[in-house]
């Protein structure tokens, strides 16, 4: 099941980042990244039990946060 497609992630979204990599880049804990994915604020894909975040989805999230 591709959760990210519903959250606006395209097939050409670039490199997939782990939750830990996203957490490190945002300087938050992994639980915060999982919450952002669950609330669909951060686009992601689920591959089996693994959550992956396309780099473009992370950039879009950061840009939208700047506008707030």
Sole residue written with tokens 């473009």: 56
pLDDT at 12: 61
Tell which residue, 47, 45, 51, 41, has the closest CA to residue 21.
Answer: 51
Q: Could you give the CA distance from residue 43 to residue 48 in angstroms, rounded to a whole number?
A: 16
What are 55-66's pLDDT values in tens digits?
Answer: 999 999 999 988
Using a cut of 0.85, tell me whether the model's pTM lies above it: no
> What's the confidence (pLDDT) of residue 1?
37
Q: Are 49 and 8 in contact (CB under 8 A)?
A: no
Whole-angstrom distance, CA of residue 41 vs CA of residue 66: 14
Contacts of 4 (CB under 8 A, 6+ apart): 13, 43, 44, 45, 46, 54, 57
The per-residue pLDDT for range 2-18, each reduced to its tens digit, is 444 445 555 565 899 99
């Amino acid at each position: 099941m591709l959760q990210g497609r519903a959250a606006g992630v395209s097939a050409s979204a670039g490199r997939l980042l782990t939750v830990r990599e996203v957490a490190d880049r945002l300087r938050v804990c992994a639980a915060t990244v999982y919450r952002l994915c669950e609330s669909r604020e951060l686009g992601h894909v689920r591959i089996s039990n693994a959550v992956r975040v396309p780099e473009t989805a992370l950039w879009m999230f950061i840009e939208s946060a700047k506008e707030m």
